[in-house]
Amino acid sequence: MRALPREKSEDHLSERAIIHAGSYCPSSGFGRAILVRSPNMGNQSKLQAEAASTFRTFIQNRENREQVKDLRGSLERTVSQIESTTVEKTLKMLALRSARCSVDAFFMGEVCYWKVYHIIRALLSSIETENPVALAMSTRSLIEHLASLAVVRSALEELISELEGQNAEKNIDRALRKAESIISRSYYGSSPKAAAAKEKKAIHINDSLNILQKG
């Protein structure tokens, strides 16, 4: 089969890489902003420049995280205070479980932050070197991590909603169990092929993407 000219081959590869990455989250403005340059794709160079500028700012500000450190300390103090309190046993246990949901969600967020930081570095390098394959892979990875965080955020929002004004221990326990399961599966979940019980399975990426797209 006759080989395509180099320029056409690279344009075709770029477009296929974009389709591959964009199909994950087609409505994402963030995804549209990091499309690689192609003569057939309009004003993508400007979008790339804007994305690259955002990425550089993110990388430069990685050490400016005092508020995050303050929040971590606050969560840890809250757990310690609950553990040392002398309130009724059931109430104490429910309060501890609620606080630990926040701590576990925060821990996952911190882990994802450092992973996203390096993904952002890869995205910036992909734009600067016009590497469509690396760009597609990094875009997909970034979207997957954001989707995982969206799942945890959604679980916490739902937990807050269900606990508000709730006095029945049974209902509080059920709401906490659901949030605990989602947070645990988001971080520790195993492949559906390896895990027999649902509570041990990782949350499917399509379910995470649906939550991400809902905002």
Label residue 30 by pLDDT band (50, 70, 90).
very low
User: pLDDT tens digits for 121-137?
Assistant: 999 999 999 898 999 99
Judge contact between 32 and 19, C-beta under 8 A: no
Residue 133: CB atoms within 10 Å: 14
User: pLDDT tens digits for 132-180?
Assistant: 899 999 999 999 999 999 999 999 999 999 999 888 999 999 999 999 9
- Between the alpha carbon of residue 116 and those of residues 10, 12, 212, the distances in Å are 28, 28, 16
Residues 6 or more apart whose Cβ sits within 8 Å of residue 55: 120, 121, 123, 124, 127
Label residue 46 by pLDDT band (50, 70, 90).
confident
Min mean pLDDT across 67-76, 82-91, 107-116 is at: 67-76
User: pLDDT tens digits for 184-194?
Assistant: 998 888 776 66
The pLDDT of residue 118 is above 90: yes
Residues 6 or more apart whose Cβ sits within 8 Å of residue 41: 15, 18, 35
Residue 182: CB atoms within 10 Å: 22
The pLDDT of residue 31 is above 70: no
Please provide the average confidence, as pLDDT, over all residues in the chain: 80
Residue 123: CB atoms within 10 Å: 24
The pLDDT of residue 212 is above 50: yes
In this predicted structure, what is the pLDDT of residue 196?
61
At position 118, the amino acid (one-letter code) is H
The pLDDT of residue 49 is above 70: yes
Question: How many whole angstroms separate alpha carbon 63 and alpha carbon 166?
Answer: 40
In this predicted structure, what is the pLDDT of residue 188?
84
In this predicted structure, what is the pLDDT of residue 28?
43
Label residue 87 by pLDDT band (50, 70, 90).
confident
